[in-house]
């Protein structure tokens, strides 16, 4: 498919003159193996081509050999063994103390960073011991970035958390002790410790979530710290099986030690036996408590011995090792972890002597049930670059490829490519083509072009799949169903065009011919939006504010609050009050105004954990002005705000 051209410049000019590279209906794929050139002069290999893992049978004295071939990959990584040796469970019951094992939190951006999987041990498990830096540790979790979080098995002599009542870990006496310990580690041990994300939650909102909905994501306005070593959070303790102000079922179950989660203006949550506590006396910042170290090992550390039990903890080492010895028996299934690193992908698996084996690309697990002497080889290859472009017709074209190497230099190569593959445009491609035509209409009329919003596009698709070509009847209902409380929180208001047609051009011509639709798409009020198609239906949605309003909208933790107006003199709820509200200390940026239409009140949506101020700005005739109300929104707190004179 790829072949260098001899007379490149002439051929390139020829195909360009014919307009081959500028047409619309053929899409070809060129696979250009440029990664090798890009990485020239830089070694990323963890294993040489002869890096071998050898396991000797204790019974028959025969060997099973696993070779990690070529340029990259890790064998028997700590994370690989954790995932291999444990059944992975979901949906823990935070009101129960019976959960035990390895659980996963994933696909929820409010619970784990970017929704990536976090694997965590829960309950009084006995297979998560690690020896490192002359100390015994317990595995807390595999973090979202693949690093492995450990907590020291023992507690260490501490002191007061801080002399001041601000809950800041950065200024705490405990941080000083932990930093001194890390700085005294050997260079070799420090090299195995990754910088980790620690949450110093000083927002005083933890109690609203810990009972039933802890999170690995640091709350808004909390302090996110990037540290080499720190202490645990109250949320992590709840995930581990700790109960609140009571003994739970957790492997973190000895001593009285600090967390970095604030419980009140003068108290921190702390570990007490098998619980996480915030009692009025024991958690005071100035009280004496011990501490336990938290570190994050690099994602690719390997296991050189042990089985994770207290009597035989995992022993970890750098992934630069090329061989590890284990015990293996014939006819006993053996598991190995062979994981390609960044920039590489699985290519193939082969074994000698007709031995069968299997490799799971998703988990990096290699499984062998040896029946004879064998060498199994897992091969990885550098990922190839795919270049897509459009061609007018099948035939031969010349393509010039320019790319930047690791050393900063730019390299150009030309390829003669045979066009053999066609591809129909996707719905997204058709939609973006229509959006481009729409912006061209606006440009021709001197109107600012709209910004494309992925979030609005997904809502457009939802509209078409849910309600179809409904002539705008269900716009409000679909918006509230799709965005939930966020629609009320942001007071979302969309404009919309709808039509039917086979192509993007058909849809745009239809709207251009309709004066109302044409006026809508040319409106200077609109700032962003999207167009979507589904079958023969088309929809365009316009939004008059910046698309940043939708950033991380799914992660907002909102609560529905009813605002009412009560008159003490007449002892009844009244209508007609105009009110305003804003986030405390952020009045200029967050001020909103509204009106109470009836005695039933007005529904608003507020963020859990934030504090708000409500005041009456328009007083109904004949009544005294209501007093200002200040609240902090809690998940299990009040559902009603009453403005009362």
pLDDT at 173: 87
The secondary structure of residue 386, as a DSSP letter, is: E
Task: Compute the C-alpha angle 120/126/130, nearest 5°.
Answer: 75
Q: Quickly count: other Cβ atoms within 10 Å of residue 296's Cβ.
A: 26
Rg over alpha carbons for the chain, rounded to the nearest Å, is: 31
Q: Give every CB contact of residue 37 below 8 A, 6+ residues apart in sequence.
A: 405, 411
Confidence bin at 159 (pLDDT 50/70/90)? confident
Tell me: the pLDDT tens digits for 301-321? 878 788 899 999 998 875 443
Judged by average pLDDT, the poorest of 7-21, 164-178, 325-339, 519-533 is 7-21
The yes-or-no verdict on residue 553 having pLDDT over 80 is: yes
For residue range 197-225, list pLDDT tens digits in order. Answer: 999 999 999 999 998 899 999 998 899 99
Instruction: Give me the residues paired with residue 531 across strands.
Output: 540
Q: How confident is the model at residue 454 (pLDDT cuts 50, 70, 90)?
A: very high
Mean pLDDT over residues 251-272, rounded? 90
Instruction: Provide mean pLDDT across the span 329-337.
Output: 63
What is this structure's pTM?
0.45
Predicted confidence (pLDDT) at residue 158 exceeds the cutoff of 90:
no
- Note whether 269 and 284 are within 8 A (CB): no
Mean pLDDT of 169-185: 91
Ranges 334-343, 448-457, 584-593, most confident: 448-457
pLDDT score recorded for residue 552: 86
Strands (E) across 473-597 are located at 494-500, 528-534, 537-543, 558-567, 572-574, 578-583, 592-595
- Residue 201's CB is within 10 A of a number of other CB atoms, namely 28
Q: Band of the pLDDT at 31, cuts 50, 70, 90?
A: very low
CA distance 279 to 620: 46
Q: What percentage of residues in the chain have a pLDDT greater than 90? A: 52
> Closest by alpha carbon to 573, among 604, 596, 605, 606?
596
Which tens digits make up the pLDDT trace of 558-586? 999 999 999 999 999 999 999 999 999 89
Helix (H) or strand (E) holding 618: strand 611-618
Closest CA to 209 of 222, 198, 196: 222
Percentage, residues of the chain above pLDDT 70: 81
Average pLDDT, the chain: 81
- Alpha carbon distance 135, 154 (integer Å): 9
Q: Is the pLDDT of residue 72 over 70?
A: no
pLDDT at 380: 78
Contact 516, 73 (CB under 8 A): no
Compute the distance between CA of residue 289 and CA of residue 278 in angstroms, rounded to an integer. 13
Nearest Cα neighbor of 167 from 32, 49, 265 is 265
Q: Is the pLDDT of residue 65 over 90?
A: no
The Cα 343–Cα 380 span in angstroms is 10
Question: Which among 460, 385, 99, 357 is positioned nearest to 248, based on CA atoms?
Answer: 99
Question: Above 50 in pLDDT, residue 79?
Answer: yes
Using the structure block, give the residue that is written with the tokens 């550390």.
301
21 vs 487, higher pLDDT:
487
φ, ψ dihedrals at 594, nearest 5°: -160, 180
Residue 133 scores a pLDDT above 70: yes
Residues 521 and 597: beta-carbon distance below 8 Å: no
> Can you give the pLDDT at residue 633?
93
Q: Compare 628 and 17 and report the one with higher pLDDT.
A: 628
**Band of the pLDDT at 50, cuts 50, 70, 90?**
very low
Confidence band of 335 (pLDDT split at 50, 70, 90)? low
Rounded Cα distance between 31 and 14, Å, is: 23
pLDDT at position 12: 35
Q: What pLDDT does residue 163 have?
A: 53
- How confident is the model at residue 306, as a pLDDT? 87
Query: Lowest-pLDDT range, 121-130, 396-405, 429-438, 528-537?
Result: 396-405
Cα separation, 238 vs 206, whole angstroms: 11
> pLDDT at position 450, please?
97
**Average pLDDT rounded to a whole number, residues 268-276:** 91
Q: Where residue 119 falls among pLDDT bands split at 50, 70, 90?
A: very high
Q: What is the pLDDT of residues 221-239, one digit of tens each?
A: 899 999 999 999 999 999 9
The arithmetic mean of pLDDT across residues 406-410, rounded, is 79
Ranges 278-292, 313-327, 441-455: which has the least confidence: 313-327
CA–CA separation, 317 and 505 (whole Å): 61
Residue 160 is predicted with a pLDDT of 83
């Amino acid at each position: 498919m790829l072949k260098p051209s001899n007379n490149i410049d002439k051929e390139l000019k020829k195909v360009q003159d014919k307009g081959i590279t500028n047409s619309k209906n053929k899409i070809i794929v060129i696979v250009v193996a440029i990664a090798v050139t890009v990485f020239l002069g830089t070694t990323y290999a963890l294993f040489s081509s002869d890096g071998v893992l050898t396991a000797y049978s204790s019974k028959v004295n025969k060997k099973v050999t696993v070779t990690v071939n070529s340029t990259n990959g890790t064998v028997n990584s700590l994370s690989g063994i954790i995932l291999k040796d444990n059944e992975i469970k979901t949906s823990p019951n935070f009101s129960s103390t019976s959960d035990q094992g390895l659980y996963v939190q994933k696909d929820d951006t409010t619970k784990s960073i970017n929704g990536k999987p976090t694997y965590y041990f829960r309950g009084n498990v006995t297979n998560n011991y690690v020896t490192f830096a002359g100390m015994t540790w317990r595995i807390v979790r595999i973090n979202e970035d693949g690093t492995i979080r450990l907590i020291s098995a023992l507690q260490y002599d501490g002191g007061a958390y801080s002399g001041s009542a601000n809950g800041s870990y950065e200024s705490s006496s405990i941080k000083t002790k932990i930093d001194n310990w890390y700085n005294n580690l050997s260079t070799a041990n420090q090299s195995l410790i990754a910088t980790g994300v620690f949450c110093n939650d000083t927002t005083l909102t933890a109690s609203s979530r810990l009972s039933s909905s802890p999170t690995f994501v640091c709350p808004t306005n909390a302090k996110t710290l990037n540290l080499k070593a720190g202490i645990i959070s109250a949320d992590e303790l709840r995930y581990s099986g700790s109960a609140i102000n009571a003994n739970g079922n957790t492997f973190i179950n000895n001593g009285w030690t600090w967390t970095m989660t604030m419980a009140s203006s003068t108290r921190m949550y702390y570990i007490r036996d098998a619980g996480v506590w915030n009692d009025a006396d024991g958690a005071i910042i100035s009280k004496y408590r011990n501490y336990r170290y938290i570190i994050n090992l690099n994602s690719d550390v390997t296991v050189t011995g042990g089985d994770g039990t207290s009597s035989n903890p995992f022993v970890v080492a750098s992934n630069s090792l090329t061989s590890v010895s284990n015990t293996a028996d014939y006819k006993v299934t053996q598991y190995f972890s062979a994981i390609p690193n960044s920039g590489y992908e699985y290519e193939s698996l082969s074994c000698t002597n007709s031995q069968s084996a299997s490799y799971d690309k998703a988990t990096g697990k290699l499984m062998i049930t040896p029946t004879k002497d064998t060498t199994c080889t897992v091969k990885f290859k550098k990922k190839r670059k795919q270049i897509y472009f459009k061609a007018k017709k099948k035939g031969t074209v010349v393509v010039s490829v320019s790319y930047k190497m690791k050393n900063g230099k730019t390299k150009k190569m030309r390829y003669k490519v045979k066009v053999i593959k066609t591809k129909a445009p996707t719905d997204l491609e058709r939609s973006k083509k229509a959006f481009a035509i729409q912006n061209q209409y606006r440009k021709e009329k001197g109107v600012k072009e709209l910004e494309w919003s992925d979030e609005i596009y997904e809502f457009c698709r939802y509209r078409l799949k849910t309600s179809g070509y409904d002539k705008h009847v269900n716009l409000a209902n679909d918006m509230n169903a799709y965005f939930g409380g966020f629609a009320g929180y942001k007071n979302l208001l969309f404009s919309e065009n709808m039509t039917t047609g086979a192509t993007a051009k058909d849809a745009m011509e239809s709207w251009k011919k309709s004066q109302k639709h044409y006026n809508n798409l040319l409106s200077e009020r609109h700032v962003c939006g999207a167009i979507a198609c589904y079958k023969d239906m088309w929809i365009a949605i316009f939004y008059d504010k910046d698309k940043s309003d939708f950033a991380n909208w799914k992660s907002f933790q909102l609560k529905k609050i009813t605002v009412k107006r009560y008159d003490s003199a007449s002892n009844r709820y009244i209508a007609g009050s105009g009110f305003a509200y804003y986030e405390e200390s952020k009045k200029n940026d967050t001020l909103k105004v509204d009106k109470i239409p009836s005695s039933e009140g007005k529904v608003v949506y507020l963020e859990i954990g934030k504090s708000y101020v409500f005041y009456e700005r328009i007083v109904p005739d004949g009544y005294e002005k209501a007093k200002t109300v200040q609240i902090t929104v809690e998940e299990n707190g009040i559902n009603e705000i009453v403005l009362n004179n």
